[in-house]
Structure 1
């Protein structure tokens, strides 16, 4: 997937605003089970929020990078403990602006 443009990121941030986190990263950290759950959520929703329990900002940034690398998703936003990522489905339901 090619990187998102600023306009596309802004559009996706707007869509994500009212969504609830569908995956939680708890005390165990980013385990294979969590990555598998993220994969399932991306397949079902394209755009997902992830709640990260770590208080360390550096750790959350590292998790976001690792999640995107493992899943082929693009980072949309990170605000505090909430990470937002996007990966289009085979038949995308979300139409991105050009």
Structure 2
């Protein structure tokens, strides 16, 4: 569980990154979850965009995807959300206490 200070720090880092995944009208599937899992293992912080043609709510999709890949939702703004998961091998992001 992230503290508010840690969440704030991660939001600052997330401002500088672009969305690397898009969720469309197909919604979530196992292939997307696997790709997000791999990206989180490599980057630890991932921004994902929910397209306008999708009928899904970004907050609900973000939480569902976070549950699938064992990550935490850092923030949801508009049609984008940010996930964080520390790498198992070599953590790159050092969170404040």
TM-score by length of 1: 0.89
The answer on 1:32 being equivalent to 2:30 is: yes
CA–CA distance in structure 1, aligned partners of residues 81 and 96 of structure 2: 22
CA distance in 2, matches of 1:87, 1:55: 28
Stretches (4+) displaced over 6 A = 55-58
Equivalence map 1:1-98=2 (5 Å)? 3-54=1-52, 59-90=57-88, 91-98=90-97
CA contact (8 A) 1:22 1:48 kept: yes
* SS, match of residue 49 in structure 1: strand
Cα distance 1:73–1:25, how it changes in 2: closer, same or farther (>3 A)? same
Q: How many residue pairs align between the two structures? A: 96
Root mean square deviation of aligned Cα: 1.7
TM-score (norm 2): 0.90
What is the CA-CA distance between 1:58 and the residue it aligns to? 6.3
